[in-house]
Amino acid sequence: MLNKAGTAGTRAPNGMRPKSLELQNRAQIRFIICVFLLLALGFSIVCFFGLILLNGFHTWGFHMDDSFVKWLCGATIAQVAVILGIFARAVWQNPIK
């Protein structure tokens, strides 16, 4: 789009500069990723505790081997650590140069 001087303008149609649009889009994408990761983490933890409760009360004859339960606990702790690490890195990232 040409401005009054006949040269190409540096503003987007909504009045924002392209650099600020890029930063805004990055922030939106980071927010969406963080929400998705936190929802997935919450769902995973709820399922984990559901399995532990089923195993603990032996509901409907449900039983898991003790070594598998220990492995599942360790995997869940590792998953929480990794997802929260990704979340922290996305939120508190180094400033864009």
Mind listing the pLDDT tens digit for each residue in 38-47?
898 899 999 9
Q: Measure the CA–CA gap between 59 and 62, rounded to whole angstroms.
A: 6
CB 87 within 8 A of CB 38: yes
- The torsion angles phi and psi of 78, rounded to 5 degrees, stand at -65, -40
- The mean pLDDT value of the chain amounts to 80
Q: What is the mean pLDDT of residues 26-55?
A: 88
Tell me, yes or no, if the pTM score tops 0.75.
Answer: no
Domain boundaries along the sequence of the chain = 23-91
Q: Which pLDDT value is given to residue 49?
A: 93
Kindly list the distances between the CA atom of residue 11 and the CA atoms of 14, 46, 61, 97, in Å, as whole numbers in the listed order: 8, 47, 66, 21
Between 70 and 12, residue with greater pLDDT: 70
Q: What is the mean pLDDT of residues 17-45?
A: 84
